[in-house]
Amino acid sequence: MSAFLFFRFRILTPRRARAAAAACLLLAACTTSNESPVATPALVDDYGVSIGPATAAQRIISLNPTTTEILFALGAGERVIGRSRWDQWPVEARTVPEVGDAIRPSVERILAARPDLVLLYASGDNRAAAATLSAAGVAVVALRIDRLADFDRAVRTLGHVTGLEAAADAAVDSVERSLARVREAMRAVPRPRVFVHVWDNPLMAIGGGSYLSELIDIAGGRNVYAERPEPSPQVSFEDLVRREPQVILAGPAEAARLRTDARWADVRAVREGRVLAYDTMLVARPSMRLGEAARALALLLHPGTVLP
C-alpha cells in the first residue's frame, strides 16, 4: 500500500541500504504534475511564490537533503543553522543541529532558531508550514527537485538567495560539463533497455519525470518507463515482463534479492544475469555529483568502456 511507503522508510531498519535508496528516490521523485515550476524570468519557487531580489541569507534552515548539500557545495555551509533528520550529506552537515522532519516540520522549533531563510521540500503537505513561516516574517523557498533542470534551477536559486551567484553558475557549469562528457562518450553505444526498481509492493519504477531516467539516457541506456511522466510511477509486473528489460538497476540489497526471487526469475534481465546494483549514496539522489553518478551508471551498463 503506497500510503505506508513514506512511513516505512522513515524508520531506519537493518535493511538500511534499501530503505535509504527508496527514501532518496521518493523524496527526489514525489510530485504532482500541476506543481511544476512556472518558466518565467522572475524567480519563483515550486509553490509559485516569487523569490525577491538577491539576498545574502545568513541563518538558513534547510529541510531538504538536496538543498543542504547544494548550500555546502556553494560554500554557504557555515550559514546553515538547522537541518532535517534526513540531511546527512556532506559529512559536515551532520554537525548542524536537527530541527525535526522535512515534511510537516515543527514551525515552532524552526522559529525558535531565528532563521532568515527556510528551505522546504515543496510537497503539498508543507504548504501550511510555509504559510505560517512567511506570516512570521521568515523568507521561505520551497523546491522540488525531480529532473536535471530542476537541480540546475535549485542551484541557481540558492545562489540568488545566498549572494553566491557566481559560485552557483560555476557549479551548474561544472555539473553540465561532466554530464556532457559522459553523454558524448556514450553516444554511439548500443542502448540496453533498463528498468530501475524503486519499490516492490506496489511495484514502482523510475519514470521519465525523474533525473535518474535522464542519467540512464546519458549513460547509454534506455529507461523502459521513460514515457511515463511521473518520477516514480506504479507499474504492473505483467507490463514490465512484456517490456523485456535487459538490465535491472536496484540498490545493493534489493538487487541481491531480485536475483534469487522466483517471481522475478523469468524477467529477461534476471534470466540473463544483468541485475545490477548501483551505489545508493551516489545515484539515488540528485547532487553535485550528478556527473559522477552518470559515469558510474555508464560503467555499470557498459563495463569495460573507457571514459575520458
170 part of the interface to other proteins, by CB under 8 A? no
CA 189 to chain CA centroid, nearest Å: 26
DSSP 223-266: ETTTT--SSS-B--HHHHHHT--SEEEE-HHHHHHHHH-GGGTT
Which residue among 12, 16, 78, 108 contacts other proteins (CB under 8 A)? 108
The least distance separating other proteins from the CB of residue 265, rounded to whole angstroms, comes to 27
Residues 6+ apart with CB under 8 A from 303: none
Main-chain phi, psi angles of 136, to 5 degrees: -85, 5
Which three-class secondary structure state does DSSP give residue 101? coil
Main-chain phi, psi angles of 81, to 5 degrees: -105, -5
The least distance separating other proteins from the CB of residue 97, rounded to whole angstroms, comes to 11
Q: Which residues pair with 143 in a beta bridge?
A: 121
129 part of the interface to other proteins, by CB under 8 A? yes
112 part of the interface to other proteins, by CB under 8 A? yes
Nearest to 194 by CA among 226, 232, 234: 226
Residue 100 vs 286, nearer CB to other proteins = 100
135 part of the interface to other proteins, by CB under 8 A? yes
Which residue among 58, 59, 77, 101 contacts other proteins (CB under 8 A)? 101
12 part of the interface to other proteins, by CB under 8 A? no
Task: Look up residue 50 and give its amino acid.
Answer: S
Which residue among 37, 65, 100, 221 contacts other proteins (CB under 8 A)? 100
35 part of the interface to other proteins, by CB under 8 A? yes
> Candidates 2-10, 159-167, 258-266, 281-289 — which segment interacts with other proteins by CB under 8 A?
2-10
Residue 256, C-alpha cell as written in the block: 541481491
Residue 33 vs 95, nearer CB to other proteins = 33
123 part of the interface to other proteins, by CB under 8 A? yes
6 part of the interface to other proteins, by CB under 8 A? yes
* Cα gap 308→293, rounded to integer Å: 15
User: What residue ranges bind other proteins (CB under 8 A)?
Assistant: 1-3, 5-7, 26, 30-35, 99-101, 103-109, 111-112, 114, 123-125, 127-129, 131-132, 135-137, 202, 230, 232, 234
